[in-house]
Amino acid sequence: MRTLTAVVSLAVAMTVAALVTPVAQSGGGRQPPPSHTGWNAYLGSADSSQYSALTQINRQTVSKLEVAWTFPSGTRSFMFGPLVADGLVYVLAGANDLVALNAATGTQVWTRSHTGAVATRGINYWRSADGMDRRLLYMAGGHLTAVDAKTGEPILTFGDQGRVDLRVGLRTSTGLAFPDLRPLQTSNPGRIFEDLIIMGLPAQGTGYDSNPGDVHAYDVRSGALRWVFHSLPHDGEPGAETWPKEAWKTHGGVHNWSELTIDEVRGIAFVPFGTGRFDFYGGDRPGNNLYANSLVALDARTGKRLWHFQMVHHDIWDYDLPTAPRLLTIRREGRTQDVVAQPTKQGFLFVFERVTGQPVWPIEERPVPQSDIPGERTSPTQPFPTRPAPFARQSFTEKDINPYLPAEDREAIRARLRSYRNEGLFTPPSFQGTVQIPGHGGGANWGSSAVDSARGEIYVLSKSLPTMLRILPPGRNALGTPPTEPTTILSREDVERLKAQGTEALSKGPTRYTLPYNYQFINTYHMTPIGPPWSEIVAYDLNTGGIKWRVPHGTVAAPAAVGIPADSGAHWPRGGLLATAGGLLFGATSSDRTFRAYDRDTGKVVWRAELPAASEGVPATYEVGGRQFIVVSAAAAHGWNPPRFPTLPPVPAGSYVAYALPQSAITR
């Protein structure tokens, strides 16, 4: 095994030494650190902390929480994180309506409808230094849109009548035509920094044909494009050597689909990137494929790269970085360190010094299984952090099979585990089938962690969602060959025959169009094939790199006969966490429609409330009129409980629910 500490130091030293000082001193100078007393940015603040310094709601008072107001969102499913500024709460409701509510009462102040989809996870707020100009900036119908935060009216001086088509910037920055490119709509709201909004472009589609997911910065006043970072490097740029020649003209992906984080004091943007397209086969893109699956630190004012670290080389598992990196200050060996921590789908937590990019604990390049698919060239090693310990399960064997499935389903899963490749975390997709754990939908995901930076603690919500990856040979139809058919389980003789037949076909012609895939484990209840806990919250103390506690998060709705215990953990949770200085950690679930508060020191549930519908999104908290509110989106219908159980009731109408202490319980 080779430790990466020295390698990373060498890789970043030349870049960081030249660029750290200009970052701190360029443009508008250093910004003050966030106070964490408001919620006027996606995830609470530009540092993506999902943390509030408010303390009125705390361990002693949380049991007295009551519903303060609700606002109906309609029957459409939302996963929106409310934003709060200047006495207004901004939410998404109706068909595609942006709505401003009175923060104290929840009554509607204004609404703005849209013909195209509005970013489903959140929006941005910008306020000029004199406070006279206040704007909301968000994606709608593939356009970066600016409206007056007080009225909802469009800012006509921004772009073209209040909108900027991101395709124009992509064509300008690459010189490519992209003639068939649909509007570039994304759920990632981007980040405001000074007078810029920094946006990761979406990569259109999940197949081979996709645009590159470059990062653009636009002027918040005019909508003009200010800088571009090529996530798929152009020829001559650092990282281009990790792709085929001129790959940027023909390949796509490498997009910041999740979230990004800003260190406002230093002016650094930390951008986590996804994989290159296609997600599960890379024979047409030999090399490590920077900056795919990399955390990249950029000068937020210029877009210039400061340092990067790639967490998956030549990804063929869809192990894109799924959530914003978190900024913390830790204490080690008698000194403080400002660090950035990146959770992953694999269940790893990578921790780096914020300015230099050097790992806080050694990261080892370890040998991993190799692909047996013709034309595929996987990396011989992958990076493994030596500390902290993983937050998600990273193996799935027969002893782990879900005991709450019918016997015939358990036997079918057992047969697949015996016949598929199952060689650990980085077992490549194969003709015969490959077991993937935590799964490309498992581990961490957007909004799934919160931090208390001052205490050096991070809380990560993860899920176990094993999947089966199987490459289908040329000519096979992925949709026409469902994985429930016994014929899809190939013998080793079949695999060798197909490999021999496929070599020539894959070495000539359009290899990018010959390998469909599927990735399902099907069973009676459509439940995950692994046993509980299906989701957990893991609390880390990064001062030591140790785990403080881990607890299941939620449970599932199921027929009583199934007998699933109350501490099973929710299925497919897509909600986020909120940490508070009151010693609490809040999180809502979709599968059991419950909002919970945990004691941040122990992980014990200290309060819970039933929600009218499933919740997918990040709770927000704010104070108005001397009263602290916590508002959560309960607007995801049944969430990911779908046709899994026929006993589910009709789809409920959604709403936003705000909780607060009764006036009589507030100490003044």
Domain ranges, ordered by start, for the chain:
2-665
CA 257, chain centre distance (Å): 7
Q: Percent of the chain having pLDDT more than 90?
A: 71
Is the pLDDT at 486 greater than 70, yes or no?
no
The answer to whether residue 119 scores a pLDDT higher than 50 is yes
C-alpha to C-alpha distance for 484 and 491, rounded to whole angstroms: 16
Radius of gyration, CA atoms only, the chain: 24
Angle at 655 between CA 651 and CA 657, to 5 degrees: 135
The confidence score (pLDDT) of residue 306 equals: 98
- Model pLDDT, residue 34: 85
Looking at per-residue pLDDT, the higher value among 491 and 656 belongs to: 656
Which of 589, 609, 599, 591 is closest to 645 using CA atoms?
591
DSSP string for 333-398: TTEEEEEEEEE-TTS-EEEEETTT--BSS-EEEEE-----STT----SEEEEESSSPPSS-----G
For residue 217, what is the enclosing H or E element?
strand 215-219
Instruction: Name residues whose C-beta falls within 8 Å of residue 72's C-beta, 6 or more positions apart in sequence.
Output: 93, 653, 654, 655
Show the tokens assigned to 322. Answer: 């799924």
User: Residue 516 pLDDT > 80, yes or no?
Assistant: no
Per-residue pLDDT of 217-272, as tens digits, reads 999 999 999 999 999 999 999 999 999 999 999 999 999 999 999 999 999 999 99
Tens-digit pLDDT profile for residues 122-139: 999 999 999 999 999 999
Contact 4, 359 (CB under 8 A): yes
Considering only CA atoms, which of 125, 120, 61 is closest in space to residue 87? Answer: 125
As a CATH number, domain 2-665 is: 2.140.10.10
Residue 465, CA distances (Å) to 180, 370, 392, 402, 435 in order: 35, 23, 10, 11, 11
pLDDT at 5 exceeding the cut of 60: no
Q: Residues 575-596: what's their mean pLDDT?
A: 94
| Rounded CA separation 1/167 (Å) | 44
| Tens digits of residue pLDDT in 405-434 | 999 999 999 999 999 999 999 999 998 889
Say how far apart CA 522 and CA 253 lie, in whole Å. 29
> What are the phi and psi torsion angles at 461 (to 5°)?
-95, 125
> Greater confidence, 207 or 615?
615
Mean of the pLDDT values across residues 196-212? 87
Distance set, CA 193 to CA 20, 46, 216, 220, 262 (Å): 18, 8, 13, 9, 7
Average pLDDT estimate for 637-643 = 63
Q: Does the pLDDT value for residue 512 go beyond 50?
A: no
Taking alpha carbons only, the member of 516, 651, 617, 487 closest to residue 76 is: 651
Q: Report the amino acid identity of residue 182.
A: R
105: three-class secondary structure by DSSP: coil
Distance CA 492, CA 58 (A): 59
Query: pLDDT class for 519, splitting at 50, 70, 90?
Result: low
**Residue 381, CA atoms < 13 Å, CB-side half-sphere:** 13
pLDDT value, residue 189: 96
Q: Residue 590: pLDDT band by 50, 70, 90 thresholds? A: confident
Residues sharing a CB contact under 8 Å with residue 454, sequence separation 6 or more, in sequence order: 329
